[in-house]
Amino acid sequence: MFKLFDFSLRINGFPIKKATTEFEEILAISEEKFETYVTKKRNEIVNFHLQNNTFYQKLVGKAEIENWNTLPVLTKKDLQQPLAERLSDGYSPKTVFVNKTSGSSGAPFVFAKDKMCHAITWASIIYRFGWYGIDFNSSYQARFYGIPLDFIGNKKERLKDFLGNRYRFSIFDLSDFVLENVLVKFKNSKFDYINGYTSSIVLFAKFLQTKKIVLKTICPTLKVCLVTSEMLFEKDKVLMEKQFGVPVVNEYGASELDLIAFENTKGQWQVNSETIFVEILDDNNQPVPNGKEGKIVITSLYNKAHPFIRYEIGDVGILDEKSTFKKPILKKLIGRTNDVAVLPSGKKSPGLTFYYVTKSIIEDDGNVKEFVVKQTKIDSFEIDYVSEFVLTSTQIKKIEDAIELYLEPNLKFIFTRKDFLERTKRGKLKQFQSML
């Protein structure tokens, strides 16, 4: 069989065959030798950038490292300068893979990967999707992602979809009328898997629930649903698995890096230990013990074109106590570091706490389809929601009582019913946002 996806990578200069071989060699390294592999690779990538990258040399301020934990933590603000000033010697924007982060953290920037790094990223993705019987060369994807609306950008993405053997559903309008057409497409297509933004796929599952339809009964080829980019709540996962009739798999990644963690077949959020090194650090940039929360900091072990060394991605998480160098497990992803609510008492709470508590009440009767929470003042919040009917005063009181119980009293809320919720240019739904 002609492998169109692999061919599309090769024709763009990405050595996928070589990268796959190298990735398989990494997988074959034993548990006993894996810490040695990681230590060697991270030292190699640091030394490479200290010798070949002026941007990184200036950031570190010395020619060599004595202790890994003394290396500076790289922030997104550090990277908000022209790409040409951050590339290593011997690389130019024309000889590397160039892309832009989504900006969901509030700090977008352009980044680069050398061709081999980008290829090994794909080898890592292909391997993990393979856990669920997905082959990028033959499996047909139902894709729930945003798409550029300008003519050239739109055509480029459509071409990528063709080469990637996928059909893209636009997620900027997910009204019942549009979802009826999505349903028809599933009836008439042999989709192997669903992939896309969590909030959009949850909406589709709720639509199926109202129709009393299990998706696999009308699309029997469907094997799995993989969600990414937004928080997946257990209640939503249960709903999706019921309405789709297939397992729902949670993915955590970053375009500038790779897949960071991917739910394995045992239900564990297995961290990618082959191409990246993940640390959980405290506010002083020192490692915390497994089981304790801290900021997620990542080193790309293969990117020679651009340094991502001790790079603070902007998320807070916890590694499981059972984690090893070869098989780290992400116990919990708490949320973004910039999505923290500061309350009048001085208490700090992850913004998703509001979202989670509110969600547990607001959706009991299926009236509310989706909602977002914004902090406008230290004691004031706005909740915008999409629903069939306006929330009653009783429902609002229940939400306020729950938030008082879980957080603190005397907080003020404004509830506003909307026809639709604004998403980012890429179609992501920012579930909590602090305006302070």
CB contact at 8 A, 221 and 190 = yes
Does a structural domain hold residue 79? yes
pLDDT tens for each residue of 54-63: 999 999 988 7
For position 49, what pLDDT does the model report? 97
Which among 230, 242, 207 has a CA at the least distance from the CA of 369? 207
- pLDDT > 90 fraction of the chain, expressed in percent and rounded: 59
Q: Please indicate whether residue 141 or residue 103 has the higher confidence score (pLDDT).
A: 141
Give the domain-ending residue among 276, 309, 335: 335
Report helix, strand and coil shares of the chain as percent, to nearest 5.
Answer: 35, 25, 40
Does a structural domain hold residue 156? no
The verdict on 372 and 397 lying in the same domain is yes
Indicate if the pLDDT at residue 253 is higher than 60.
yes
Compute the average pLDDT of residues 410-431. 83
In whole angstroms, what is the distance from residue 223 CA to residue 135 CA? 12
pLDDT tens for each residue of 368-406: 878 888 999 999 999 999 888 898 898 888 888 888 887
Compute the average pLDDT of residues 344-359. 74
Does a structural domain hold residue 102? yes
Does a structural domain hold residue 185? no
Give the domain-ending residue among 307, 335, 363: 335
CB contact at 8 A, 132 and 264 = no
| Average confidence score pLDDT of the chain | 89
The verdict on 32 and 81 lying in the same domain is yes
For position 426, what pLDDT does the model report? 64
Indicate if the pLDDT at residue 2 is higher than 70.
no
Does a structural domain hold residue 209? no
Task: Work out the pLDDT band at 108, boundaries 50, 70, 90.
Answer: low
Compute the average pLDDT of residues 189-216. 94
- pLDDT > 70 fraction of the chain, expressed in percent and rounded: 93
Those residues whose C-beta lies under 8 Å from the C-beta of residue 423, and which sit 6 or more positions away, are 146, 171, 172, 429, 430
How many distinct structural domains can be found in the chain? Answer: 2
Give me the residues paired with residue 141 across strands. 166, 193
Indicate if the pLDDT at residue 277 is higher than 80.
yes
Indicate if the pLDDT at residue 353 is higher than 80.
no
Q: Please indicate whether residue 67 or residue 360 has the higher confidence score (pLDDT).
A: 67
Lowest mean pLDDT among 154-168, 311-325, 351-365: 351-365
Give the domain-ending residue among 279, 307, 335: 335
- Domain with 289, as residue range(s), is 4-139+223-335
Pairing relationship of beta strands 368-377 and 110-113 according to DSSP bridges: unpaired
For position 107, what pLDDT does the model report? 58
Most confident by average pLDDT, 165-174, 321-330, 364-373: 321-330
For position 215, what pLDDT does the model report? 98
Lowest mean pLDDT among 5-9, 85-89, 166-170, 360-364: 360-364
Does a structural domain hold residue 184? no
Lowest mean pLDDT among 26-35, 133-142, 418-427: 418-427
The verdict on 241 and 106 lying in the same domain is yes
The verdict on 392 and 420 lying in the same domain is yes
Lowest mean pLDDT among 20-29, 192-201, 378-387, 422-431: 422-431
Q: Please indicate whether residue 173 or residue 42 has the higher confidence score (pLDDT).
A: 42
The verdict on 113 and 13 lying in the same domain is yes
Compute the average pLDDT of residues 300-323. 95
CB contact at 8 A, 399 and 362 = yes
For position 356, what pLDDT does the model report? 66
CATH of the domain at 17: 3.40.50.12780
3-state secondary structure 258-322: CEEEEECCCCCEEECCCCEEEEEECCCCCECCCCCCEEEEEEECCCCCCCCCCEEEEEEEEECCC
The verdict on 371 and 353 lying in the same domain is yes
Does a structural domain hold residue 370? yes
For position 102, what pLDDT does the model report? 58
For position 79, what pLDDT does the model report? 87
Q: Please indicate whether residue 226 or residue 164 has the higher confidence score (pLDDT).
A: 226
DSSP secondary structure code for residue 427 in this structure: -
The verdict on 110 and 235 lying in the same domain is yes
Task: Work out the pLDDT band at 261, boundaries 50, 70, 90.
Answer: very high
Does a structural domain hold residue 410? yes
The verdict on 231 and 134 lying in the same domain is yes
The verdict on 377 and 228 lying in the same domain is no
Compute the average pLDDT of residues 197-210. 91
For position 370, what pLDDT does the model report? 81
Indicate if the pLDDT at residue 272 is higher than 70.
yes
The verdict on 233 and 313 lying in the same domain is yes
